[in-house]
C-alpha cells in the first residue's frame, strides 16, 4: 500500500522519478510566464518579484540573462538539503541582483503525500508560494514523521477515500492545514484547494510535463538552465554554482 511504504522509501530509494506519472499525458505546451510583477517594489530587490509560469512560480527578474528551473519534491530529503544549503546563496548572490531568475516546479515523487503538500503551497498563489515551500522544507522531518507513526490500517482507509477527500485527509494526517494557518493560509481555504479537482489535475499535468519535456530527468532535485537539463549529479549547490557562472559568462 503506497502511503504505508512511501516514508520508508525516502531513506532507501532516494527521490527517483516515477515513470508511470507520464503515461497517457498530453504533449507539453510552450512554457509561458504570466508577468504581473515586472520590477522590484520601492526599496526591494528582484527577490521580491514573483511571477507565475505554466508549471510553477518564478522568483526574480523575468528578463534575467540566465533562467534557472528547479524541479523538486517537497517530501524529498535531497531537495530539502539543497533548500537548506543552496537556496540562501542562490537568492543572495544571483536572484537579488537580477542576474538569474529561479523557477520552482513542484514534482510528485511520493504520490498523495507530495500532492497534498503541493496543493498547500500553491493555494495562496504568488503571495505565499516561496515562503510556504521553504517553511515546508524546514519542517519536513516533522510532517513526514507523522506518516511513519500512523498505523497501516488508517493509511489504507485514507487512500480508499474519494479523490476529492483523500488529500484533505492526508493533509490532516500531516497537520498541514493547521501548519499553513499559522503562516497566513486559513484552514477553510486549504481544504478548498485540497479538494479542488482542477488543481489536482493541474499537479498531475505538471509532473507529466516534466517527464515529457525532459526525457533524461531521473529524479529530484533536478535543474534546468536556459532550457537545458543539467547532468543528473547536479543536486547540490557546489555542483550547480559553477554551471550558473558558466551560463552568466
Residue 10, pLDDT > 60, answer no
Give the residue, 146 or 18, on which the prediction is more confident: 146
* Tens-digit pLDDT profile for residues 112-123: 999 999 999 999
3-state helix, strand, coil split of the chain in percent (to 5) is: 55, 10, 35
Instruction: Report if residue 45 sits inside a domain.
Output: yes
Give the bridge partners for 98, in sequence order: none
The mean predicted confidence, pLDDT, of the chain is 89
Residue 70 is predicted with a pLDDT of: 98
Q: Say how far apart CA 130 and CA 38 lie, in whole Å.
A: 18
190 belongs to a structural domain: yes
Rounded mean pLDDT, 154-178: 91
| Residue 143 lies in domain | 2-13+33-248
Is 22 inside any structural domain? Answer: no
Distance CA 225, CA 209 (A): 17
Whole-angstrom CA distances from 222 to 16, 94, 189, 239 are 10, 18, 31, 11
CA distance 178 to 165: 17
Tell me if 130 is assigned to some domain: yes
Total structural domains within the chain: 1
Would residue 28 count as lying in a domain? Answer: no
| Beta-strand relationship, 100-106 and 66-72 | parallel
Virtual CA dihedral for 216, 218, 224, 229, nearest 10 degrees? -20
Q: Which of 15-19, 63-67, 106-110, 199-203 has the lowest mean pLDDT?
A: 15-19
| Residue 19, in any domain of the structure | no
Residue 1: which pLDDT band, with cuts at 50, 70 and 90?
Answer: very low
Q: First and final CA of the chain: distance in angstroms? A: 49
pLDDT at 18: 62
Report the CATH number that the domain containing residue 136 is assigned in CATH.
3.40.30.10
Eight-class DSSP state of 67: E
Chain segment 40-61, per-residue pLDDT in tens:
999 999 999 999 999 999 999 9
What is the reported pLDDT for 228? 95
Looking at residue 30, its pLDDT comes to 55
Q: Are 181 and 187 in contact (CB under 8 A)?
A: yes
Residue carrying C-alpha cell 537548506: 84
The answer, yes or no, to whether residue 26 has pLDDT greater than 50, is no
Q: Give 152 or 28, the one with higher predicted confidence.
A: 152
Most confident of the ranges 13-17, 151-155, 220-224: 220-224
Amino acid at each position: 500500500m503506497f502511503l504505508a511504504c512511501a516514508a520508508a522509501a525516502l531513506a532507501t530509494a532516494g527521490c527517483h522519478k516515477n515513470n508511470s506519472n507520464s503515461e497517457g499525458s498530453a504533449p507539453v505546451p510552450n512554457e509561458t510566464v504570466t508577468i504581473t510583477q515586472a520590477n522590484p517594489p520601492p526599496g526591494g530587490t528582484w527577490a521580491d518579484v514573483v511571477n507565475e509560469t505554466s508549471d510553477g512560480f518564478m522568483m526574480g527578474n523575468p528578463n534575467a540573462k540566465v533562467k534557472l528551473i528547479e524541479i523538486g519534491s517537497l517530501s524529498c530529503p535531497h531537495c530539502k538539503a539543497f533548500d537548506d544549503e543552496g537556496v540562501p546563496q542562490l537568492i543572495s548572490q544571483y536572484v537579488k541582483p537580477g542576474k538569474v531568475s529561479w523557477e520552482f516546479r513542484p514534482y510528485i515523487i511520493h504520490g498523495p503525500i507530495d500532492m497534498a503538500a503541493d496543493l498547500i503551497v500553491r493555494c495562496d498563489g504568488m503571495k505565499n508560494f516561496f515562503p510556504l515551500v521553504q517553511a515546508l522544507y524546514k519542517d519536513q522531518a516533522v510532517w513526514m514523521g507523522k506518516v511513519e507513526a500512523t498505523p497501516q490500517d488508517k493509511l489504507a482507509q485514507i487512500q480508499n477515500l474519494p479523490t476529492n477527500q483523500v488529500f484533505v485527509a492526508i493533509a490532516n494526517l500531516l497537520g498541514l492545514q493547521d501548519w499553513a494557518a499559522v503562516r497566513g493560509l486559513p484552514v477553510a481555504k486549504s481544504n478548498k484547494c485540497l479538494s479542488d479537482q482542477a488543481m489536482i489535475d493541474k499537479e498531475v499535468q505538471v509532473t507529466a510535463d516534466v517527464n515529457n519535456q525532459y526525457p533524461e530527468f531521473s529524479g529530484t532535485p533536478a535543474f534546468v538552465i536556459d532550457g537545458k537539463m543539467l547532468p543528473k549529479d547536479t543536486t547540490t549547490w557546489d555542483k550547480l554554482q559553477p554551471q550558473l557562472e558558466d551560463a552568466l559568462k
